[in-house]
Amino acid sequence: MSSIQIVIPFYNQRSFLEECLRSVCEQEFQDWEAVVVDDASDEACEDILLRVDDRRVKLIRHPVNMGLASARNTGVKASASPWILPLDSDDRLSPSFLRVTMSVAAQNPDVDAIFTDHLCFGEKSYIKKRYVQSAAEVLDHHSIPGAGTLYKRELWEKVGGYCESPLLRNGNEDWDFWLCAYEKGFTPFHIPNALYEYRRYQGSMVNRLQMVDYKVRLFLYHRHRRLFEKYHMRSRFLAKGFENSARAAKVQGSLARAWILSLAAIWFDLRNKKLLRFSLELLKSFVVLPK
C-alpha cells in the first residue's frame, strides 16, 4: 500500500492526460499510486497509459457517465492509502508538490487537508492565491480547492465521500465537500507556494456552472441549512446564485430569463443597489419604458 492515492477522473480530455500523468511520474516523492477513472469517455486513453509506462498508474472504467463526484469516489475506493489527492486530468503537479505536502503532513499530524496556491496556465497565466477559511467565510465562497488538496482518507470517510447528486454534475461538488468538512470539524493547512498547476481554457466546467448556479446554491443551502442559519448567510448566498445565473443568461442573450433571475436575486437581497441597477438595465434592454 502506498502513502498516497492520486485520483484522476477522465472524460474527453485526451489531449491533456499524458501531460498530467507525466507530472505525476516526475514527482520527487515517489511513494504513490494513481488511478485514472474513465467516466465513460468518448475518447480512449489506454494507449496514453501504455506510453507513460508506470505500473503505479491504473485504469478503472465506468460503464456509463456518472459525473466527477462519482469518478472521485470510485478512485478513492480503489485503494486503502491513508492520503488522497484528487487531480484533474487537464492539470499538472509541480515536481515538488507531493514532497512538500507530505513533509507538512509528517510535521503536523493533526492536519487533515493540505493545499497550495495555484499556478494558472493556458488561456491565462497567473498565480491564484489560496488561504485557510473560517466556517463563515466558506459559506460565501470556497478557497480550498477540490483538485489539488491532499487530504486524509479519514476525512473522506467522515464526510461521506463526494455528493453524487445530478444537481452537482456541473460543478461545486468540491464546495459541498468542504461544507461537510466544516460541519464535521477538520484542520486544513495552506502552503503559500504555487505547486498545483491549473489549466484555464474556454469551455471548462467552471464556465458552464454559472447558468445553473442558482439551482446549485439552493441545493447546497438545503443540505447545509444549519450552518447557513448559524452564520446568517442564507440571503446573501442565494442572492449571489441568482445574480450569477442572471449575468450568465444575459451573456447568452436570454434577456427575459436574465431579468426574472435578477428579480429573484433582489428578493433575497433587497438592499443591494448594484442588483437593482442591473435589473433595471435588463428591463430597459427589451422593454421601451415611457419617458
pLDDT, averaged in runs of 10, over the chain (291 residues): 96 94 98 98 94 96 96 96 97 98 98 97 93 92 94 98 93 94 96 96 65 94 95 94 92 88 90 83 69 55
Given this model, what pLDDT does residue 142 score?
Answer: 85
Given this model, what pLDDT does residue 195 score?
Answer: 98
Given this model, what pLDDT does residue 230 score?
Answer: 93
The pTM (predicted TM-score) of the whole model is 0.91
Question: Could you give the domains of the chain?
Answer: 4-201 (3.90.550.10), 209-285 (1.25.40)
Given this model, what pLDDT does residue 291 score?
Answer: 55
- Alpha carbon distance 55, 48 (integer Å): 13
Q: Are 87 and 174 in contact (CB under 8 A)?
A: no
Helices 173-184 and 68-77, packing angle to 10 deg: 60
Eight-state DSSP code of residue 287: S
Q: Are 170 and 216 in contact (CB under 8 A)?
A: yes
Average pLDDT, the chain: 92
